[in-house]
Amino acid sequence: MLNKTQELVYPYPGIPAPGAATELENGIFWMSLPLPFAMGQINVWLLEDGDGWTLVDTGPAIPECQSIWNTLLNAHLRGRPIQRIFVTHHHPDHVGLARWLSDRFSCDVYLSRETADKVTFLLQDDISYYEAAVSQFYRAHGICEPAAFVEFETGRKYRRIVSGSPERMRYLEDGDTLEVGGRAWRVLLCNGHARGHAALYCDTAGVLISGDQILPKITSNISLFSMESETNPLAEYFASLQRLRTLPGTTLVLPSHGRVFSGLHLRIDQIEQDHHARLTQVESFCDRPRDAAEISSLLFPRQLNELNRLLALGETLAHLRFLESERRVQGSTSNERIVYSRLPG
């Protein structure tokens, strides 16, 4: 059990205002951009790198963010160029302006091969080939009108807020080291939230740039999507948390959303507890055969917009897949619909 008196520590006063930058220790600058989604904002990080800068993540390609970037570039770069962009994962708030910024500075974009593949897939013009399969997947899970889900999963929405596929991509492998300003940052690839999600850890600075893998207030979305329907994202996420747990407890965590914090091990405990509680809840909803859409509406009873309905269903499916792998529930197909039932344990 968690000790209730333990709390995360937030060593900096608050999230920087749009257009402002907070200097952390070790030549790291914290900046924030607004998001048109529920999370509200995304953090991006500028690392001093010799004569220039390495940027981590970019914000989505929306006019508001581009205008804030123009302010940031004038106010905080001290006349030095961005010479490298590191992208944690393919979600639009992270990679959205990578093409725009890399064109502007003629710099390379560093990302995992899986992230690059996903960006390329979601930005391709003709995805009609996939539409039927995605639609069938969601119908089988109880979504009668899957058109909005198909739009998200095949990239129609994505293309509106991503500036393009970067022309100069450099692929990162797990365990690679990036030298930034004389410091070594180790690349940690972690699945679960997004395949090929890369975090960066600097031992000498005691800093983890966690991306969406670990957030201070909300649990990252862990979803099973139609394109990766054979995977077990929650099991992969638990494995990545175990790996991040081996980092020192004093590590300063720089998350993509919310405030910089310390208390890495406590946060991992909290996140694991949240998922285990949800697993128990999902298992209890399988007391009689139900499809994933019904279980999702029991788990998330409030009214949700289209994106959040997709994420809620994805989260439900990820938990069901994990329970299946543990032989706690079983999925079976009847009348072209997949229903889940509890297994006697």
Using CB under 5 A, list all residues that contact Zn ion. Answer: 91, 212
Question: Least distance in Å: CB of 94 to Zn ion?
Answer: 6
Instruction: Report residue 8 as tokens.
Output: 């995360």
Question: Least distance in Å: CB of 96 to Zn ion?
Answer: 11
Question: Least distance in Å: CB of 251 to Zn ion?
Answer: 20
Helix axes 306-325, 292-299, angle to 10 degrees: 110
The SS3 call for residue 279 is helix
- Closer to Zn ion by Cβ: residue 86 or 340: 86
- Closer to Zn ion by Cβ: residue 99 or 328: 99
- Closer to Zn ion by Cβ: residue 146 or 211: 211
Burial (CB count within 10 angstroms: exposed 0-12, middle 13-18, buried 19+), residue 256: buried
Question: Least distance in Å: CB of 93 to Zn ion?
Answer: 7
- Closer to Zn ion by Cβ: residue 212 or 236: 212
Question: Least distance in Å: CB of 176 to Zn ion?
Answer: 21
As a whole number of angstroms, the distance between CA 225 and CA 87 comes to 21
Residue 168: phi and psi, rounded to 5, are -115, 85
Please, are residues 84 and 107 in contact by the beta-carbon 8 Å criterion? yes
247 CB neighbour count, 10 Å cutoff:
20
Instruction: Report residue 31 as tokens.
Output: 């900046």
Question: Least distance in Å: CB of 95 to Zn ion?
Answer: 10
Taking Cα atoms as reference points, which of 304, 36, 310 lies closest to residue 150? 310
Residue 262: phi and psi, rounded to 5, are -120, 155
- Closer to Zn ion by Cβ: residue 57 or 291: 57
Burial (CB count within 10 angstroms: exposed 0-12, middle 13-18, buried 19+), residue 269: middle
- Closer to Zn ion by Cβ: residue 212 or 291: 212
